[in-house]
Structure 1
Amino acid sequence: MCLMSRRDYDNATVGRVAAARNERRPRRVILIISKTGIISERLISALEREFSWVLVEEVEQVAAACNVFAHPVSLILVDPGMIDEADERCIELLRLHPDALAAAIEPNDENLTASFLKLTRSPLVHSVLPMNLRLDTWLSVIGLMLCGGDYLPPALILDARRNGHAPGGGAKLPGAPINGTGVSELTARELQILEMVSRGLQNKLIAAEFRLSEHTVKIHLHNIITKLGAHNRTEAVARFRSLQERV
């Protein structure tokens, strides 16, 4: 007889609890407005596997998004080239989908500033969904947005702070000057999470400590790693410990 290890038992229990929770969650729609198939079928399949309570609907015209769907829309993803048209029908979209957050789909970093400039003028779109992230990070960003959280790529925020103003000449952003370690760029919550990671705690324990979802913790870690200029959490922890030793 093969006995299950404690770790396998714990993982199986967590999996069953998560599956039961997903079954109880009300169905929601992610609405993609794009003529170009900007999100691949592979990514859509991964998204629907990760969020089993989500149904993805794709439309090629903004007018087609101004409809009632089988389930409430929680997230609207808009092709950057269609943001102006979506803004023109903003009132109608918000009336039909009052609980939906809207985000611009951004295929590459070169267009981040242009997307940000559109966002500053848009009454509808306030977040950016980068398409060049690792799959687990990309899914974590989607999870954050499904919970109603706005997201801007850290590279965009750092660029704004380096220049002392928002892209395009906007108001000055808060934050200390960037130093050699990048630690001064971390928020209070990011510092708390980094300190817990440095003690060897896993994401699910950190999430429980701060009453966050694991997806949100992953987003914080992605931002921490980017701001520190590290390649992974291990390198981020090493830089954090080095700073502690110098202090």
Structure 2
Amino acid sequence: MLIVAPADFVSESLIFAIEREFHWITVDQVSTLADACVGFDAPVSLILVEAKQLPEVAAQSERLALLHPSAQIMLIQEDGRQEVSIRDVVTARNVRGVLPMNLKLDVWLSVVRLVLRGGEYFPLSLFEPIIERRRAGATGPAVSFDAPQKPQASQENEVDDFDELTERELQILAMVARGLQNKLIAAALGLSEHTVKIHLHNIITKLGAHNRTEAAAVYHKRRDSGGERRVGDVAVLHAQQTLS
């Protein structure tokens, strides 16, 4: 595990707790992402980056992927207050979430375990500006939640399960794949939780999946394969237009 933050950002006691909880992990620490772009004695499985360095994550993403191909990236910040916007985090494709440093130790370590297993974590505080605007009934131009128009089927007329999804279903699937709970999806899209559940049921049926986890796996597989541009752009455009 690699921590990218000032020397005093993560205490020695926390590093000890990490290495005790995950006995197969050794923790290294550097101050900048540029310093992280080197080889280490062991493969890096997780990079915890101070949230203020998020702009550098994009700048160094190619080098990080080349040098640490198996590493997940997660932002760390001192507390749950919004140091970075949900828009910036979600559109940073290689960032798996945000981890506040003021969580209880057992919860903090559980989040680390989740991310090591390929999961994602976003504290509710990141969504509070969206939720508060909706509760207050903020006026102004309506926010668009429309996904881009889906392309026509290929010339070979290959069957594409994603072509069966509506634009709203694509939006919800993108958010499910980011690990968001139904109540957060409902708040962001201005829907009821019941409506989100209905959409999710339809998504699972159309994709031939058994549950939301399988549907999310299909989404990630599609995004990382030949359909990356189409499926990935839906999620990125959605985040840019609705989570600012």
TM-score bracket, shorter-length normalisation: 0.5 to 0.7
- Which residue pairs with 1:132 in the alignment? 102
Q: Which residue of 2 aligns with 1:73?
A: 44
Q: How far is the alpha carbon of 1:56 from its aligned partner?
A: 0.4
Give the whole-Å Cα distance in 2 for the aligned partners of 1:161 and 1:110: 15
Alignment match, 1:151? 121
Do structure 1's residue 55 and structure 2's residue 31 form an aligned pair? no
Question: Does structure 2 conserve the Cα–Cα contact (< 8 Å) formed by 1:104 and 1:115?
Answer: no
Q: Offset at 1:37?
A: 2.7
**Aligned counterpart, 1:44:** 15
Report the counterpart of residue 110 of structure 1 in structure 2.
Answer: 81
Map 1:4-43; keep pairs closer than 5 Å: 30-43=1-14
Match of 1:210 in 2: none
Using a 3 Å threshold, how does the CA distance of structure 1 residues 115 and 54 change in structure 2: closer, same or farther? farther
Q: Give the superposition deviation at 1:45.
A: 0.8
CA distance in 2, matches of 1:156, 1:75: 22
Deviations 1:159-216 (A, max 9, x none): 5355459xxx9865854469xxxx959x98xxxxxxxxxxxxxxxxxxxxxxxxxxxx
Q: 1:101 to 1:177 in 2, by over 3 A?
A: closer
Aligned partners of 1:90 and 1:123 also within 8 Å = no
1:87 alignment counterpart: 58
Deviations 1:64-116 (A, max 9, x none): 2111211111111111222212321110101111111101111122225x242
In the alignment, structure 1 segments of 5+ residues that lack a partner are: 1-29, 189-247
What amino acid sits opposite 1:83 in the alignment? L
TM-score normalised by the chain length of structure 2: 0.53
Cα drift, residue 157 of structure 1 = 4.0
Matches within 5 A, 1:155-170: 155-157=125-127, 160-161=130-131, 163=133
2:44 counterpart of 1:97: no
Ranges in structure 2 where 5+ consecutive residues have no aligned partner: 136-141, 146-170, 173-184, 198-244
How many Å separate the matches in 2 of 1:177 and 1:148? 25
* 1:85 counterpart SS class: helix
Q: Contact (CA 8 Å) 2:4, 2:50: kept in 1 or not?
A: yes
Would the aligned equivalents of 2:79 and 2:102 in 1 still touch at CA under 8 Å?
yes
| Structure ranking higher on relative contact order (CA contacts 8 Å, 6+ apart) | 2
Q: Determine if contact 2:96/2:119 at 8 Å carries over to the other structure.
A: no
RMSD of equivalent CA atoms: 3.3
Determine what percentage of the aligned residue pairs are the same residue: 36
Q: Which amino acid aligns with 1:60?
A: S
Q: Distance in 2 between matches of 1:103 and 1:134?
A: 18
Residue 154 to residue 64, structure 1, CA distance change in 2 (3 Å):
same
Residue type at the aligned position of 1:39: V
> Aligned in 2, Cα 1:171/1:122: closer, same or farther, shift over 3 Å?
farther
Number of aligned residue pairs? 152
Does the 8 Å contact 1:106/1:115 carry over to 2?
no
Range that drifts further, 91-100 or 60-69: 60-69
CA–CA separation in structure 1 for the residues paired with 2:29 and 2:36: 9
